[in-house]
Each structure stands twice: as structure tokens, then as C-alpha cells.
Structure 1
Amino acid sequence: YSVAPKTVHDKQLKHRCLKGFHIEPQDDYLQSRKPVLVNNDCKVILSAPRKSMTDYYYKNADADEVIFVHEGSGTLRTMYGSLNFEYGDYLVIPRGTTHQLEFDSEKNRLLIVESYGPITTPKRYRNHYGQLMEHSPYCERDIRKPVDLETFDERGDFLFYIKKQDNIYPYHYLNHPFDVVGWDGFVYPFAFSIHNFEPITGRLHMPPPIHQTFDGHNFVICSFVPRMYDYHPLSIPAPYNHSNIDSDEVLYYVDGDFMSRKHVERGMITLHPGGIPHGPHPGTVEKSIGAKETRELAVMVDTFRPLLMTEYAAGIEDPNYYHSWIPDAVSGNGLQHVDIAP
């Protein structure tokens, strides 16, 4: 069956806001995956699965996957071994990796990025030999590899679902998919916690690349984490208004408070397309002066080719988001700042 996203070819150049937690939970993991923003390089997917993958195995033959765990915990089981995961973990799963996701409860919220190119660490973080250098915001010790390899020398009827060219193909295998006695190499699934991302700060405003966590083909994934604000005596912590020229900017709000936004919700996604300016909401620049730190937690995906919204995205869009830059005295019903910490 087809899982190709149905895009909305809305050519309006405007800022968008999606209420991510309005995606309804579903029992089955594959059925719960709803692509909301897509282009030819990647897909941004929201998922709220209730049940573990106990009856089948899954393999994405199209794309590498980065799964950010917003809510829930459990175990990723693969032919390489197992990876326990919890709130704040990135799970990086190379294409072709047969796996199952087992959840500890029915309350799960996932942000998934499918990448048609490999997911790597940013080149500027690595030395000539491929090692992460001291100025990198994380190091090899922060990366968790699969453990507890289990070998299943079994025969039976093992159901696979394989994704290829945006179709899901059911396959029945005679041998257990985890009939592996060992593995070697440098392509394997791993976990990295956003809480282990050590932010880079400075006396003046630091540009967005300092938040970069992963590199994809024509896009990047960044982590916004609690950190000290700019500490020059005359600094203004709120970012300045700016216009992206080379990228569309997607921000997924996880937890904490965001001094540049008047209204945020957990799981909210904003899309600020390249070509038009965006920046702090009215009043937030003044409010930021004198602030020492932020407790925000967010994931950003910047794509270097434009993103299209899908029908799922259209169903959860706040159509009045672009009005949020109108001062309260003008709009009469300005949005209010809220803290989205649980």
C-alpha cells in the first residue's frame, strides 16, 4: 500500500504554525506516522503510537531515519542489538536496518525525519581522522551503540514491512531477522540524548550553526537546549529579525520557555520559509534585556530546498499564526507568552 504524502500545493509565501499534538494517537506504529512537511531530500513526520511492534518487523529501504523521542520510553531492537531510549533521545537508524520499537507505555510522541542521504556528524566538528574534536558540542562518549546482541536461530513465519519508493510491502521470511552472531563496521543505529548537547555560547549573539547536531543531504538538524544568553554588557539576548535566503526553517518546540515567542505549545511546529523575514514577537526583545539564561528545548530542521505541506499538516495548521507579529494594541487579541514546561 502507498504511504506517499499528499501535498498541498499552496504557493502562498507565509509563515506557518502546526499544532503537532493534534495528531491523533493510533495503535499501530506504521499507521501512526503522519508526514507533515516534505521535499525531495527529507520528510518531517509526526507519530503518536500506542502499541509496540510485536507482530512484525520494519525496514525503511528508502531513507535513513532520525527519531526524536518527545514523550515515551522503550527499546529499539535491531539485528545489531538493543538500544534503550527515553525522553530527549535521538535514535539514528540507517536505511535497511531491520528493527522493532517496543514502548513502555501507550503515551508516546515522536518527531521523525526521513533522510534520503546519510545522516552524519557535521564535518567541521571532525578532524582529518574522523574524530570529534574538542570544540564539538558532543563527543563519542555521548553516542550510545546497540548492546546485548541476541542471536535467534529460529524458523517460522516472520512478517516484515519494507518501505520502498513510498510503498509498504509485506514480506514473509522463513528465518528470524535477528539470526546474527556478530557485526563489524561503522554503519549501525545509535542513540544520542539532546540533554548531552553542550551549547556553544558567546558575548554576542551566536548564529544558528552553533546548534547543529546532525548533517543531512541539503538539510541540517539542530538542538536548542538550556544555555547562557549573550553576556556582553550591552547585548540583547533576543535574536534579531532576519530573512533566510538559503533555507526553510522548521522549529519543533519540545519544552521550556522561549523568549522570542509569545505563544508556544508542546509539539508545536513553526515553518518560516526562505525569502521573507521573521524574528521575535513584539515586546519580546525588550523583555529579553537583562535575562541571563534560557531553559528552552527545541529541535530545528533547516532545509536548503523548499518544503511542501501535506494534507495532514493542513488539518492541524493555525491559520492565524502570521498575525502573531501584530502588536497587541493593534490586533486587540495578541497572543500571550506561556511556559510549556510540563
Structure 2
Amino acid sequence: MAHYQRVGAVPPKRHTQHRDPDGALYSEELMGEEGFSSDSSLLYHRHIPSAIRSARTWDLPDQTTRPNHPLVPLHLRLHTLFEGDAWRDVDAVTGRRLVLANADVRISYAAVGATSPLYRNAVGDECVYVEDGAGRVETVFGDLEVGRGDYVVVPRATTHRWVPSGDGPLRLYAVEATSHIAPPKRYLSKYGQFLEHAPYCERDLRLPTPPRVVEDTDVEVYLKHRGHGPGGLAGTIHVVPHHPFDVVGWDGCLYPYAFNVDDFEPITGRVHQPPPVHQVFEGSNFVICNFVPRKVDYHPLAVPVPYYHSNVDSDEVMFYVGGDYEARKGTGIGIGSISLHPGGHAHGPQPGAVEASLGAERFDELAVMVDTFRPLELGEAALASDDGAYALSWDKNS
């Protein structure tokens, strides 16, 4: 996110002495991407950010997967994973349940009511979509107040925690990359500014509040990192002598931010537009798109719902979060559902959906789509939430 920000107390020139009112030096930390060759920020700590008092193993939530074999499309009902009041004691870090994964991305889901531990993902950036509820993401850069429809983009190795608020669950759809996550390059100038044709821009991004110094000792930080466990992951808990939220100021182009789906301006046309017009973010070997309420195709003979298509190079994961999705009527898919359409299977509208859509002027639908360019395997949450019938829903005789 190459838009420079300066927050709090920073020295006039980088890598120079910066002292507190009593004369003690602050500790300067460079947080940067791609080996000092890409975006970075400088953070100024009251204490040494490298200090560790002890370390122990963190047993990650179940990361095992199995192939989608035999190959079939699936309907996953995520709301069945956290039923009743089970969400009240669940947090957004240790309570995530793995839905789908490959070597580039992991998709998890959680309905939470408890404050998470401090957490740092050292594997890749995270893009977390807030399906419902409200809360606060506290980070080493400052805080983000978040709610329904927010994407929260957290750069790799950012120490943060999730604090739910309100009476109901905070429902989170977490897309964890093994790379960085950013707006699509075609939306940006060569210097990183959003271009005029982009469906959102800098004004739509919400930045953290100024950081607040927390004085505490023997603080636990949960760290997800590369290892030899399922998915090539491992977990460690560091006990640090001082709270990581001890930053008095920072500046640079790398930081967490939030973007609400309501601020995405849909691109429409006389005939049906292909999915790339709905793209909102990209990572290595995957993209994130959103389908928002919009005016639909206005050619007099237009067919508003999607044509049948084969995902030759990708698996398509659609998360239904609002409205009434015209192309999937009659399947049982509703709010909180996922459809998985794997590469090699032609998919499209359900029987009768094409005729029913003719003449429509607007679709009131809201969905988040992840397209991957390597096959996805099924996590334990997919196996637990599969409806077992979706693959047959196009056959009128089933």
C-alpha cells in the first residue's frame, strides 16, 4: 500500500537519534517487504522489539486437508460451524476453522465473542472480511474500528489482536496468503496511485488511529510461521518482557487498513461483464472479488445471470454474505454459504435461473469471491459443513 503516512513522534531524518523526554533513545524498527526492496515503515518503540523472555509451542488449529476427490462442486454452510452460544468463548486467532487451502492461500472462518491473544502471522498478509458484528482490531500501528462489510488487510508480521464488541458474534472470513495482498496492479499508476477507472480509491481506505502506548510485562504473542506441520506451518508463543504496543510514532507505506465493501463502485455494461471487473485485491496465484448490489446488463436481449463457464485455470470460491443471489436459487445456498466450483467443472446458473432473470434491471446481491490458480483442498471445516447434495443440483431429475 504505497501511500506515505506519518503518525505520532518521528525524527526529522530516518536512522537518526530519537529520544524520549527523559533523554532515553527510542528503538527504531524497519518493517519492510521483499528484502529492503519494497514498501516499508519505520516504527519507534519505547523498548527493544527483539526481546524475548521465553518461547513454547503453540498447537495451531487443525490445518490438515484432503483433496477434493472425487472432484465435485460443493455447498458449505459455514454458520453450522458455530451454532448456539458456542461463539461466545471463541476468539479470532485460536478459534479459526480451516475451510479450504492450497500452497498459496488458506481460507478460514470463525464466529467469535472473546478477545484474541496478540497475534503475528509471519507466513503472509491476511485479508479478513467481516461478515457480521463489530469490533476493534488493535495493532502495533494503532486501532481500526471494524464492522459488517469491512475488509481488514493486515501486513505480514504485524502484531495485532481482535476485540469483539456488541451482543452478537463477530463473524470473520479470513483469507491468509503466503504472499502479500494488495489492490490489483491495473488499478494503480506506476507510482502506486489509484487510477480514474479503479472502482475504489485512497479516500475509501480507513487507516489506524494513532498508536497508544501500553505498559505491561511478560506478554504472550502467538506467532504463526513456516514449519513442518500440516500445510507447512508451525506455531510458537513468545513471552516478551514489554507489551508490543509501545510505539510512539511511525511513518512509511506499509500498515494495516480497512475498506468497506459498500465503497466499491461496480462496473457494469450492456451485456454481462466477466468476473475481473469485480476484483478488489490480489495475491500470488489468487484474486479476491466482490459482487455488490448493482444495475445489471441493459442490452435489450441481455441475459443478466452468468453464462455457463469452465474454470480451466482456477478454483472459484463464492462466499454469500447478503441479498438474494439470482443464479443459485433453489440450491439451499443462503447467507453464510460457500460454493466451491473446482477447475475442470463447467458451472453456471441453476435450472430456470436464466429465464427468471430476463428483464431484471438490478441485482441485490453481496458475495466475496476468491479465485485460486492452484487446486484447493478441503479443511476440516469444509468436511463438517458440506451439504452433500449441491453437486447434483443442475440435474433436473435428481
* TM-score, structure 1 as length reference: 0.93
Hey, what's the Cα distance between the residues in 1 that align with 2:68 and 2:339?
16
Hey, what's the Cα distance between the residues in 2 that align with 1:10 and 1:241?
21
Q: Which one-letter code corresponds to 1:159 in the other structure?
A: E
For the pair shown, the structure with the greater C-alpha radius of gyration is 2
Kindly indicate whether the alpha-carbon contact (under 8 Å) linking 1:18 and 1:313 is maintained by their aligned counterparts in 2: yes
Residue 163 of structure 1: aligned partner: 224
> Which of 292, 307, 322 lines up with 2:376 in the alignment?
307
> Which of 239, 247, 270 lines up with 1:203 in the alignment?
270
Residue 245 of structure 2: aligned partner: 178
Residue 75 of structure 1: aligned partner: 136
* SS of the residue 1:181 aligns to: strand
Hey, what's the Cα distance between the residues in 1 that align with 2:287 and 2:389?
28
* Deviation of 1:157 (Å): 1.6
Hey, what's the Cα distance between the residues in 2 that align with 1:155 and 1:87?
32
Deviates more, 1:2-11 or 1:63-72: 2-11
Kindly indicate whether the alpha-carbon contact (under 8 Å) linking 1:4 and 1:167 is maintained by their aligned counterparts in 2: no
**1:31-46 superposed matches below 5 A:** 31-46=94-109
> Which of 191, 194, 203 lines up with 1:132 in the alignment?
194
Residue 165 of structure 2: aligned partner: 104
Residue 4 of structure 2: aligned partner: none
- Number of aligned pairs? 326
Hey, what's the Cα distance between the residues in 2 that align with 1:73 and 1:282?
38
State the identity %: 47
Kindly indicate whether the alpha-carbon contact (under 8 Å) linking 1:281 and 1:324 is maintained by their aligned counterparts in 2: yes
Residue 17 of structure 1: aligned partner: 75
Q: For residues 10 and 125 of structure 1, do their structure 2 counterparts lie closer, same or farther at Cα, with a shift above 3 Å needed?
A: closer
Q: Deviations over 1:213-241 (max 9, x none)?
A: 00100000001100011001111111111
Hey, what's the Cα distance between the residues in 2 that align with 1:4 and 1:23?
14
> Which of 348, 363, 371 lines up with 1:279 in the alignment?
348
Q: Deviations over 1:154-180 (max 9, x none)?
A: 242211111112222111111111111
Kindly indicate whether the alpha-carbon contact (under 8 Å) linking 2:62 and 2:380 is maintained by their aligned counterparts in 1: no
**1:235-274 superposed matches below 5 A:** 235-262=302-329, 263-274=332-343
**1:50-61 superposed matches below 5 A:** 50-53=113-116, 56-61=117-122
Q: For residues 155 and 228 of structure 1, do their structure 2 counterparts lie closer, same or farther at Cα, with a shift above 3 Å needed?
A: closer
Q: Which one-letter code corresponds to 1:123 in the other structure?
A: K
Q: For residues 188 and 19 of structure 1, do their structure 2 counterparts lie closer, same or farther at Cα, with a shift above 3 Å needed?
A: same
* Deviation of 1:43 (Å): 0.3
* Deviation of 1:185 (Å): 1.2
* Deviation of 1:10 (Å): 4.1
**Residue 48 in structure 1 maps to residue 111 in structure 2:** yes
Kindly indicate whether the alpha-carbon contact (under 8 Å) linking 2:220 and 2:239 is maintained by their aligned counterparts in 1: yes
**Residue 148 in structure 1 maps to residue 206 in structure 2:** no
Kindly indicate whether the alpha-carbon contact (under 8 Å) linking 1:221 and 1:299 is maintained by their aligned counterparts in 2: yes
The runs of 5 or more residues in structure 2 that have no matched partner are 1-58, 227-232
Q: Which runs of 4+ in 1 moved over 3 A?
A: none
* Deviation of 1:186 (Å): 1.1
Residue 317 of structure 1: aligned partner: 386
Q: Which one-letter code corresponds to 2:202 in the other structure?
A: E
Hey, what's the Cα distance between the residues in 2 that align with 1:155 and 1:206?
53
Deviates more, 1:244-253 or 1:307-316: 307-316
Residue 340 of structure 1: aligned partner: none
Deviates more, 1:4-13 or 1:97-106: 4-13
Kindly indicate whether the alpha-carbon contact (under 8 Å) linking 1:3 and 1:167 is maintained by their aligned counterparts in 2: no
Kindly indicate whether the alpha-carbon contact (under 8 Å) linking 2:75 and 2:333 is maintained by their aligned counterparts in 1: no
Aligned CA RMSD, in angstroms, stands at: 1.2
* Deviation of 1:125 (Å): 0.5
> Which of 74, 91, 101 lines up with 2:152 in the alignment?
91
